[in-house]
Amino acid sequence: MLNTKMIEESMELLTRSNTCSTYKMGVDGEDGTVLYYSVCPGISVMYNNFHIEKGPDRVIRDSNSFSIHYCIEGRIEAEVSSGEYLYLGAGDVLLEKLDSKYRYCSFPTKHYHGITITFSPDEMDENLNTLLLNFSIDINRIKETFLSKYVPFVIHEDVIINHIFEELYKIPELLKYDYLKLKVIELLMLLRVVENKNGNYKNQYFYKSQIEKVKDIKEFITNNIEEHFTMEELSQKYDIPLSTLKKCFKAVYGEPIYQFIRNYRMNIASTLLIKTDDSIIVIAGKVGYTNSSKFTEAFKSVIGKTPTEYRKTVIQTE
């Protein structure tokens, strides 16, 4: 996933203060930004915002450090070993050692917002170690409990852990630096609760061949939105078992394939309603609907307004 070394070597430094640095990367209209806070010696927090497909280049740190990643929106993809992939979606948390030898991370939906907290025990000073001990926090035990040599540990939608990360987005800027310290300690304490149910968590992996087929299917259906294909047809065309197609597509793109293509069609339709003078029936046909009533129903379920209402609203606000 993301780490400090990756950010420093792959992204452009925009601003730097005593407590916070801002980094940016971008190409062909896509972009990513990171706000980096050095909370105290050995602990850093990064707020990650990416609207780009390929993430920063992977940099392996031969160190005793580890990171905790939280996804609040979008998806992140990581190749964790040769030919195996795992995914983080909204509400998921991943712990990893920074010498984990997977190749890269990317954002398959070109949309990712999340937080990375990195712990470097070798850099922590005596005061911090004493403080952690006062809260019965053993950094090395946390690392040994959750992290094998090369395999990340994923926690899916744990309400207790997610609450901490969600609060990190609500901190007033004036209080952020000190408040981050408190929330990081609280997070480390709560990991002991997760530790007690460690056996309930299992990583779900997909092979590279499966991922490539699913991405080909996504390209095929989005390039042919005027046509409709059944799951069975796609399964046969790309030689992938139906159950694998369903599971893998949802893992990569965060929603079932039918929901994905419906949302995609309606977003294309919303753009056509704004940027063209085409009639609603013509636009419906361009996104695969021959029945205008069914198109209107689908559009309202996704966008929240009928096509007519949407077009009028946008025109009135311009």
Q: Where are the domains of the chain?
A: 4-200, 225-317
The answer to whether 56 and 49 are in contact (CB under 8 A) is no
Name residues whose C-beta falls within 8 Å of residue 194's C-beta, 6 or more positions apart in sequence.
Answer: 155, 158, 160, 161
- 176 versus 102: which is more confidently predicted? 176
% the chain with pLDDT above 90:
48
Q: What is the mean pLDDT of residues 42-59?
A: 83
At 143 the pLDDT is: 82
Judged on CB neighbours under 10 Å (0-12, 13-18, 19+), 214 is buried
Any idea which architecture 4-200 has in CATH? Sandwich (2.60)
Q: What is the mean pLDDT of residues 230-252?
A: 96
For residue 32, give the DSSP letter.
E
Name residues whose C-beta falls within 8 Å of residue 249's C-beta, 6 or more positions apart in sequence.
Answer: 214, 217, 218, 256, 257, 260
CA distance linking residue 69 with residue 88, whole number of Å = 9
- 150 versus 117: which is more confidently predicted? 117
- pLDDT digit string, tens, across residues 144-171: 877 765 667 888 878 888 889 999 998 8
Q: What is the mean pLDDT of residues 9-30?
A: 79
How far CA 71 is from CA of 95, 201, 214, in Å, comes to 12, 17, 22
Report whether pLDDT(23) > 70. Answer: yes
How far CA 152 is from CA of 64, 144, 200, 201, in Å, comes to 15, 12, 15, 12
How far CA 209 is from CA of 15, 163, 241, in Å, comes to 41, 36, 12
The overall pTM is greater than 0.85: no
Determine the topology of domain 225-317 in CATH: Arc Repressor Mutant, subunit A (1.10.10)
Judged on CB neighbours under 10 Å (0-12, 13-18, 19+), 29 is exposed
CA distance linking residue 117 with residue 314, whole number of Å = 41
Report whether pLDDT(63) > 80. Answer: no
**Cα angle value 244/82/209 (rounded, 5°):** 30
